[in-house]
Amino acid sequence: MNPKRTRFPRRAFLRAAGTLGVGLPFLEGMPERSAFAAGETPRFAFFVCCSCGVVQSGGRRDPERFWPGADGPLTTASMQADAAERCTGILADHASRLLIVRGVNYPHRSSGCGHAQGLVQCLTSSAPSGTNNTSTSSGVSVDTVIAQQLNPQGVDPLTLYSGLKGGYINEKLSFSAAGQVRAAEGNPYNVYQRLVGLVPPDSGGSGGTGGTGGMADLLALRRNSVNDLIKDELDSLRTRPELSVADRDRLDQHFTAIRDMENTMMGMGLECSDDGLDVEAIEAMNSGQAFRQNGKAEDVSKLQMELVALAFACNATRVATLQVGDGTDATRYTIDGQMLERFHYISHRIMSDGSSGTAIPDAVNQHAKIDRLRMETLKFMLDKWAQYSTPNGPLLDNAFALWTTHVAEGPSHSFSNLPIIIAGSAGGYLKQGEYVNAGNVGNNKLHNTLLTAVGCTNNGAPYENFGGSGLDGGQIDAMIA
């Protein structure tokens, strides 16, 4: 592993109320106040892993509802033509920034619970140890490598979660070392407080269990924003002659995003209040109850994705992960006014977490509708990311976001032909606007490619052997621009 670390510039903060620090976005007119050093070429990486696979033609002979209709260029028109049948068509507005990759598999076969062992391999490519819900990783995850090389000393990946945790297979996505899973924070209110400086960045760490009862709660009770605490400083900054119109637009977008997230979180908290009381809403946010309601996984995912964009825009970290749903995802989605059965049941097509049970009528179409809902969430993220700037242009051009699932499709728990969507080129390294075939390779080669794309090296050389010995080395040539 390359011991060299990227040196971050001094963080730029607005100070108010004695302890508050709100990170600023990139400002070309005031580089000394920017979160980025002059001449810096930042690269960012975001990994999203959802549960229970997608509807694709595979071992169970399901209809094709995921992959684009033909290999080759992706255009808005071609994806719109697919949209009625194939959920990836929902991303048509961002066709020019997408790389959809088929032919990627987990390199190690399942020897127990496919859900747990798929999660374990998703970002590690290493052989799972243990069986069923005891499965764990025999190596580090790719986000750990990126954090070690691109983040300042001691800054871990931003590790997030959305959805229910049933207690059988919870988070198994990010590993700091073999067998050491990194706790994932499922409460966006905790993440928000740390990012905007209402609590120390290391307060509670990932997986915190509640808020502080402090400044954030007082602001929420008064229906104020953190922006209100720094109004004078913000107004003064906006009038600085060094700032361009684009800089002022960046500031407005940045602080509007903060306010919108605050409103969304309070709204979700109020849904947990019998009498519509703010105190109950704040308690629900601090406890995380507001974000663990059945059917809210996509709303929480959107909040977490916005928080990742905020963290990247403020240069607080270069890498983040989001696990959506546990291994046996019990989320009950409401679609077209109908509350569906547990998603895990639907993915099995039967009323069971196992291999036998009463058939669920129309389960394939229900699963396909959930896939479409998940693509709407991904599109929401891409819409947001397209608005954020870095020193070298939009965040989407200087980052990548990988979307996948921990098994390829539900009924068989297949580890072959994983759904892989990559948005963003990581500064031009990755192809854009293409649907490509990786050639039936292990996802270690996917991670070799992505590590190299963001500037990570293995002792100064491009990554060739992520995931350990015994795997085919190299990168996926079809992904490289």
In this predicted structure, what is the pLDDT of residue 21? 55
Residue predicted with more confidence, 34 or 11: 34
Is residue 422 within 8 A of residue 430, CB to CB? The reply is yes
Is pLDDT at 208 greater than 70 in this prediction?
A: no
Is pLDDT at 260 greater than 60 in this prediction?
A: yes
In this predicted structure, what is the pLDDT of residue 79? 98
In this predicted structure, what is the pLDDT of residue 155? 93
Is pLDDT at 88 greater than 50 in this prediction?
A: yes
Find the mean pLDDT for residues 18-31: 70
Find the mean pLDDT for residues 115-126: 96
Find the mean pLDDT for residues 217-235: 81
Backbone φ, ψ for residue 380 (5° rounding):
-55, -45
In this predicted structure, what is the pLDDT of residue 207? 37
Tell which residue, 398, 393, 435, has the closest CA to residue 95: 435
In this predicted structure, what is the pLDDT of residue 387? 86
Find the mean pLDDT for residues 41-51: 95
Find the mean pLDDT for residues 320-339: 95
In this predicted structure, what is the pLDDT of residue 210? 41
Residue 59: band (very low, low, confident or very high) from pLDDT cuts 50, 70, 90: low
In this predicted structure, what is the pLDDT of residue 216? 77
Is pLDDT at 205 greater than 60 in this prediction?
A: no
Is residue 278 within 8 A of residue 220, CB to CB? The reply is yes
Structure tokens belonging to residue 477: 């040539």
Find the mean pLDDT for residues 263-268: 91
Residue predicted with more confidence, 322 or 203: 322
Residue 132: band (very low, low, confident or very high) from pLDDT cuts 50, 70, 90: confident
The percentage of the chain sitting over the pLDDT mark of 70, rounded to a whole number, equals 91
Q: Global pTM?
A: 0.92
- The bridge status of strand 44-50 relative to strand 319-324 is parallel
Is residue 41 within 8 A of residue 427, CB to CB? The reply is yes
Instruction: Name the average pLDDT for the chain.
Output: 88
Which residue reads 């809403």 in tokens? 281
Find the mean pLDDT for residues 275-285: 81
Separation CA 138–CA 127 (nearest Å): 6
Residue 4: band (very low, low, confident or very high) from pLDDT cuts 50, 70, 90: very low
In this predicted structure, what is the pLDDT of residue 273? 79
Find the mean pLDDT for residues 364-391: 94
Find the mean pLDDT for residues 7-17: 34
In this predicted structure, what is the pLDDT of residue 35? 73
Is pLDDT at 346 greater than 60 in this prediction?
A: yes
Q: Which domains does the chain have, with CATH numbers?
A: 13-335+365-479 (3.40.720)
Is pLDDT at 393 greater than 90 in this prediction?
A: no
The percentage of the chain sitting over the pLDDT mark of 90, rounded to a whole number, equals 64
